[in-house]
Structure 1
Amino acid sequence: MDEVDWQHRDGYAKLVLNRPERKNAIDTATWHRLQKTLDAIAEDTTVNAVVITGAGANFSAGADISGGSSSHRTQLERMEWFNKVILALHRLPIPTIAQVDGVAFGVGMNLAIGCDFVIASDRARFSEVFVKRALSVDGGGSWMLPRLVGVRRAKLLCLLADTISADEALDMGLLTKVVDAEELDAEVDKLAARLVASPRLALVQTKRLIDEGLTLTLEQAMENEARAQALNVASDDFSAAMAAFRGGPRLPAEPAESGDRNG
């Protein structure tokens, strides 16, 4: 089977890192496959959300540093290629969900927290393990972590490289939700279904506005909001939503809170 198994479901794609015998450690072949899969999804307008998970009992133990062939002449060239794969995930216009069970270490952790939603089982564990391998943080961790948890906690996670539980990661703001392990699949499927049922254009533009807003002034952000809203109002999705609001077919009701641990 492929190093990344791509399952096309009802309106969303499920990407499974498929090296369970190595705790889904990401080797060169997996990076290649992940890049091709993400590029294909970016061009597929029938996919409205993406779930990334790992085969077996783990998300990913990080980069496979056990060796293997590489077509890159230098480590810098190789890392620049890795960066392109990580950027391909961040640049997907549609919502992304990390489904995390077991370990999410090193670049595996940063692949997970690079998604828009991170749903973890209560037995998931996280570590920015790099310094224990005489490496510095990569996979976008140096950019994401200060924004997600603040500089102090980012340094705590990266300089000490401790392993933290799912509940600790939730408390820090790294996760969206923690659920019992046996409920993980159903919880992620439910979230993906809600996203798929939502108007695609509104989701895509909202995600972009939030991501871009990190580096903009308030005035610039609101200018972008105005342009996005003009496109929304001109769309068929908006016409359907207004028809439902005025007494036509009703939009799905918001589900009641389940009582799960939420971020």
Structure 2
Amino acid sequence: MAYRTIDFKQAGGIARLTLNRPDRLNSFTVEMHEEVARALEGAGDARVLIITGAGRGFCAGQDLNDRAVAPGEKVDLGHSVESYYNPLIRKLTSLPMPVIARVNGVAAGAGANIALACDIVVAAKSAKFIQSFASIGLIPDSGGTWVLPRLVGQARALGLALTAEPLPAEKAAEWGLIWKAVEDIELDAEVDTLAARFATAPTRGLAAIKKMIRASWTHSLDEELDLQRDAMRELGYSDDYREGVAAFMEKRTPRFTGR
């Protein structure tokens, strides 16, 4: 399928989605939302997904030119959020495979929170995360008000959201906002190594880990223990579990199929 605003490739169990409007710092338009949605629907055979941006930035959020507001004009931003951003965040967090954000530069506004919706965020040390919403009188959407306090605590979440100050990638990693910040020259190798690892890992087990950790916020300990029992029972019947045990006993590298 041909795309105008993104690039999407799959090979060896790895899907790579690149936001491809570098002249606009990969900011979102309606067209880009629609193309991303189509690409994600076609990623079902992949065992890992990488999301990144072309050029010098990851994503600057919404392209304001795509929904330009004339002086004095009112606009329903809730429609944009409900129609495009909310479905994207729900899709990323529920995909049955690990999703890696390769943050190669600035991630601002919704772009920052789209990265944070991914399961693992690896950023170049030159990258910055900016909750820029307060600068134009808005709130951190795309999951921002939910994920920020859970990742870094209320004090830091409020500081990031109220001041809209850029957070360097190294500090983001120190705060626990992202998984890792690496030297710019090492970004591709770090992400590719991680993707290759996931592409040959026990896929069902990774999907269960992702699902359970993301849902655990709403469960009591007793409820979670019961869910762990159920998951262990189901995964214990999987081909990958049997292969993992056999490989361990035979002192060889396992050959996981994702089944």
- TM-score normalized by the length of structure 1: 0.89
Mapped pair 1:2 → 2:4: yes
Distance in 2 (alpha carbons) for counterparts of 1:107 and 1:33: 17
User: What's the counterpart of residue 25 of structure 1?
Assistant: 27
Displacement of 1:248 in angstroms is: 5.9
Tell me, yes or no, if the aligned pair for 1:110 and 1:141 is still in contact at 8 Å.
Answer: yes
From 111, 116, 120, give the equivalent of 2:114.
111
User: What's the counterpart of residue 72 of structure 2?
Assistant: none
Distance in 1 (alpha carbons) for counterparts of 2:164 and 2:145: 13
User: One-letter code of the match for 2:208?
Assistant: Q
**CA RMSD across the alignment:** 1.6
Tell me, yes or no, if the aligned pair for 2:124 and 2:181 is still in contact at 8 Å.
Answer: yes
User: One-letter code of the match for 1:110?
Assistant: N
1:205-233 Cα deviation digits (max 9, x unpaired): 11111111111011111111111111111
Mapped pair 1:15 → 2:17: yes
Tell me, yes or no, if the aligned pair for 1:39 and 1:88 is still in contact at 8 Å.
Answer: no
Tell me, yes or no, if the aligned pair for 1:241 and 1:251 is still in contact at 8 Å.
Answer: yes
- Aligned to 1:5, what secondary structure does the other structure show? strand
Displacement of 1:168 in angstroms is: 1.4
- Aligned to 1:174, what secondary structure does the other structure show? coil
User: One-letter code of the match for 1:29?
Assistant: E
- Aligned to 2:149, what secondary structure does the other structure show? helix
Displacement of 1:144 in angstroms is: 0.5
- TM-score normalized by the length of structure 2: 0.90
Displacement of 1:241 in angstroms is: 1.2
User: What's the counterpart of residue 54 of structure 1?
Assistant: 53
Distance in 2 (alpha carbons) for counterparts of 1:100 and 1:248: 37
Displacement of 1:165 in angstroms is: 0.9
1:63-78 pair list within 5 angstroms: 63-68=62-67, 74-78=76-80
Distance in 2 (alpha carbons) for counterparts of 1:120 and 1:93: 23
Distance in 2 (alpha carbons) for counterparts of 1:74 and 1:60: 23
User: What's the counterpart of residue 128 of structure 1?
Assistant: 131
Mapped pair 1:187 → 2:186: no
1:27-46 pair list within 5 angstroms: 27-41=29-43, 44=44, 46=45
User: What's the counterpart of residue 104 of structure 2?
Assistant: 101
Displacement of 1:26 in angstroms is: 0.8
Q: Which runs of 5+ in 2 are unaligned?
A: 69-74
Tell me, yes or no, if the aligned pair for 1:28 and 1:68 is still in contact at 8 Å.
Answer: no
User: What's the counterpart of residue 239 of structure 2?
Assistant: 236
Displacement of 1:183 in angstroms is: 1.1
Distance in 2 (alpha carbons) for counterparts of 1:96 and 1:61: 19
Distance in 2 (alpha carbons) for counterparts of 1:123 and 1:248: 41
User: What's the counterpart of residue 205 of structure 1?
Assistant: 208
Distance in 2 (alpha carbons) for counterparts of 1:64 and 1:52: 18
Provide closer, same or farther for how the CA distance between residues 160 and 68 of structure 1 changes in structure 2, counting only shifts above 3 A: closer
Structure 1 stretches (4+) deviating beyond 4 angstroms?
none
- Aligned to 2:18, what secondary structure does the other structure show? strand
Displacement of 1:110 in angstroms is: 0.3
Q: How many residues align?
A: 246
Mapped pair 1:152 → 2:155: yes
User: What's the counterpart of residue 227 of structure 2?
Assistant: 224
User: One-letter code of the match for 1:19?
Assistant: R
User: One-letter code of the match for 2:32?
Assistant: T
Q: Which runs of 5+ in 1 are unaligned?
A: 253-263
Q: Which piece of structure 1 moves more, 134-143 or 73-82?
A: 73-82
Distance in 2 (alpha carbons) for counterparts of 1:85 and 1:113: 12
From 169, 172, 184, give the equivalent of 2:172.
169
